[in-house]
Amino acid sequence: MESSVPIWQHHKDILTQAGLDFDDIEKTRKHIHQNAECGFKEFKTRKTILGYFTDVDKDNNIREYATTGFTIDIKGTAPPTDDGECNVIALRADMDALPIKEETGVDYASVTEYSHMCGHDGHVAILIATGVFLKNHRDKIPSNKTIRLLFQPAEELVGGAETMVKEGCLEGVDEIYGYHNSPLGQEGTISIMPGPMMAGNEKVYIDIEGVGGHGSEPANATDPITAACHLHSAFHTIKSRNTFNTDVVVFTICELNSGTTFNVIPRTAKMSGTIRYYDEKVKDLCVKRIEELTKEICEGFNCTPKIFIGDSCPAVVNYEKQTEIVMEIAKEELGEDAINTTKGIPKLGSEDFSCFLQKVPGCFILLNNVKPGETPITMHSSKVDYNDNITGTGVYLYVRILEQRLGISLLGSLDSES
């Protein structure tokens, strides 16, 4: 398509013809942004979302999971068909915000102690808009086809996806797809690859117990700070001496607390950190060495350690078939040059969309968000604000994926007329 109109505007124009009100969706997104909520407490956000779906049969098609999470099934009313490889497709959005003080300066900045510095408000907006479009076009969806809108709590805390899966949110689902907005490229492009796409995350907590005493008499105490310092240095040998150069793993101690004043040797020291990895075997090796080094070094300094390694979030591993399908759709709709398969990916950041992919096939897509001429801003910065321009592209690609996988036609005539 040769046009001076930006591709995201083209997508919005098509969907507007189909009845979507993007001004309203953007207004809602900013309302959610202003009233940001933390994981498992997204009650106002849930109420706002459900306000768009009051005409959906609540008893049969809306189900609650994981305290504040829920699914909405959009079922077709057209005659059934055997077309398409799938009957039930799930689309996911995460709803929670971060405990960060917002510094964007926008007039809809968060008024709570949390803020959407990762763009989850935008993910919700995309899924609301997709759901509104689908329920308004149920007459084009066969009665044996269902799209499940999956609104997930607590992605940042880690646990929202895992809890929803355990409670059965994927029952009957054939495939699942999801987005994260990303600064890896300009609006109207995506970043995507098959296989490991984002890293797994394992949390590490170490408590070291010694014997407190006076700072002037260290021989009468057992200093946990010394043990912690040696341990921190030793941890750096795991990557350099225990893994191969082809193994991707990062272990970082991000917290080290001990002591209360200048002249008292404390009784305890506390450390915490994170392991990021793509391969479970590499992660297991790293865990083994952390445990061995901690026990041996602490014993050498007459200290007693307590180790907890867990609260894990697996790596996001995209299925090859579903990823190739998304890439082909994106090439056709966005252009060959709009598909990034190398820059900045795979990422060492983690995402609990991985829990869904461990249960059903699917694909996680990075929807690039940088406006032309602007400098990319990393996620979790206090100055991040979601780019509303990419909402239309997000909805449009979702619809095209659904058409391909469910064997239906939702936009064909509108697209050819635009």
* R_g of the chain computed on alpha carbons: 24
Query: Out of 3-7, 131-135, 309-313, 384-388, which region has the weakest mean confidence (pLDDT)?
Result: 3-7
Pairing of strands 268-277, 69-75: unpaired
Model pLDDT for residues 40-69, shown as the tens digit of each residue? 999 999 999 999 999 999 999 999 999 999
Query: Out of 158-162, 191-195, 283-287, which region has the weakest mean confidence (pLDDT)?
Result: 158-162
Q: What is the pLDDT of residue 414?
A: 63
How many other CB atoms sit within 10 Å of the CB of residue 279?
17
Q: Rounded to two decimals, what is the model's pTM?
A: 0.94
Q: What is the pLDDT of residue 1?
A: 44
31 is in an annotated binding site: no
User: How large a percentage of the chain has pLDDT more than 70?
Assistant: 98
118 is in an annotated binding site: yes
Q: What is the mean pLDDT of residues 194-223?
A: 97
Residue type, 412: G
Model pLDDT for residues 21-47, shown as the tens digit of each residue? 999 999 999 999 999 999 999 999 999
Among 3.50.50.60, 3.40.50.300, 3.40.50.1170, 3.30.70.360, what is the CATH number of 200-313?
3.30.70.360
Three-state secondary structure call for residue 257: strand
In degrees and rounded to multiples of 5, residue 39 shows phi and psi of -60, 140
156 is in an annotated binding site: yes
Q: What is the pLDDT of residue 13?
A: 96
* CA distance linking residue 370 with residue 372, whole number of Å: 6
Q: What are the residues facing 209 on neighbouring strands?
A: 268, 304
Q: What is the pLDDT of residue 415?
A: 60
Q: What is the pLDDT of residue 128?
A: 98
Model pLDDT for residues 393-406, shown as the tens digit of each residue? 999 999 999 999 99
Q: What CATH number is given for 7-198+315-417 in this structure?
A: 3.40.630.10
Model pLDDT for residues 319-342, shown as the tens digit of each residue? 999 999 999 999 999 999 999 999
Which one-letter DSSP state was computed for residue 85?
Answer: S
Domain with CATH 3.40.630.10 in the chain: 7-198+315-417
Domain with CATH 3.30.70.360 in the chain: 200-313
pLDDT at 2 exceeding the cut of 70: no
CB 297 within 8 A of CB 234: yes
pLDDT at 186 exceeding the cut of 90: yes
137 is in an annotated binding site: no
pLDDT at 413 exceeding the cut of 60: no
pLDDT tier for residue 312 given thresholds of 50, 70 and 90: confident
Three-state secondary structure call for residue 90: strand
* CA distance linking residue 399 with residue 55, whole number of Å: 21
> In which residue are the tokens 């202003």 written?
34
Q: What is the pLDDT of residue 412?
A: 73
What does pLDDT average to over the chain? Answer: 96
Q: What is the pLDDT of residue 417?
A: 52
pLDDT at 4 exceeding the cut of 90: no
**Token pair for 289:** 């060495």
303 is in an annotated binding site: no
